[in-house]
Amino acid sequence: MRTDHLALAIAAAATSLALATPAGAFCRTTTCTENCTVAADGCTEVGPHALALSWPSTCVSFDVHQDASSHVPWGAADTAARAAFGAWEAAACTTGTLGLKFQDYGPITCAQHEYNAGQGNANVIVFRDETWPYAGEANALALTTVTFNVDTAEIYDADIEVNGTANITTGMPVGYDLQAILTHEAGHFLGLAHSPDATATMFPRYLAGSTSLRSLAADDVAGACAAYPPRAEPGDCSDATPRHGFSSECAVPPTGKGSCALRSGPLPATGWVGVSLLSGLALAVRRRRQGRSRAS
């Protein structure tokens, strides 16, 4: 097991934007851990094991923790989560609908992000109202952990933690819009990385008070469709059971680190158009890799 800090990904995205990278430049998270280089498109990792991540199934569940947040009660949080995943599920690919569907498994009791190799699992959305436990991500609004097989690039589990110490909102006036944040994080949940396309939900900037990230851009749709092309027989997503079964309860102490942080704070002094208009949600990516010995 290893943890990568992908601050370099931000710099790469910034460089690409400065070079006016055109739309259609979506990026996918890969398994590459060492000796990775970035291709001319500004995001594609090229390396000995640069396989793009994706869920191996066509039906994946998510769950909102039963306590939700003091800012956002469970019902509103669940509605925001459904809308966030729904936006991706509704992505209109050129040859049909997205080949991945989602099921809401309802409120769960486990408030930890974890993947259990021999026990039940859940893909949780949990709020951290009391304290944000990531000292290195003090300004983060959310953090997504994606656990995957380093050999096959199969995603095993994904968990989203939302920083409830921030002004997370679901209505007017909009602060840090939960649905917008979750739509971006859901992109990471699917295996997408940050896009250099400034119109994309996966662009690593968020305008506080804005709901624009709720709606996918063409670049987001292209990325999702590349990862999950339409299937001949879409099916009805009747079974979204996580790997090793579903469990509402935590099984083991949490391990691993997050994969994406929507971070508030000053923006880097780069050539971002309209940077002064943003109140500042910069982004960092960290991701956890599942060791080969624990990958089965």
Interacting residues with Zn ion (CB under 5 A)? 260, 283
Residue of this chain nearest to Zn ion (CB atom) = 260
> How near is the Cβ of 233 to Zn ion at its closest, in Å?
32
What distance in Å separates the CA atoms of residue 261 and residue 137, rounded to the nearest whole number?
7
Cβ closest to Zn ion, residue 193 vs residue 222: 193
Q: What is the nearest approach in angstroms of Zn ion to the Cβ of residue 204? A: 6
Q: Which is nearer to Zn ion, 182 or 222 (CB)?
A: 182
- Minimum distance from CB of 262 to Zn ion (Å)? 6
Nearest approach in angstroms of CB 285 to Zn ion is: 6
Nearer to Zn ion, 164 or 258 (CB): 258
Query: Who's near 117: CB < 8 A, 6+ residues apart?
Result: 244, 294, 295, 296
Nearest CB to Zn ion, comparing residues 160 and 283: 283
Nearer to Zn ion, 189 or 228 (CB): 189
| Residue 125: other Cβ atoms inside 10 A | 30
Neighbours of 233 (CB within 10 A): 5
Going across the sheet that includes 155-163, the strands are 2-5, 281-289, 260-264, 140-148, 155-163, 124-128, 59-64, 101-104
Structure-block tokens of residue 61: 């569940």
Measured from the CB of residue 73, what is the shortest distance to Zn ion in angstroms?
25
Contact 64, 164 (CB under 8 A): no
Contacts of residue 145, defined as CB under 8 A and 6 or more positions apart, other chains included, come to: 113, 157, 158, 159, 160, 161, 256, 257, 258, 259, 287, 288
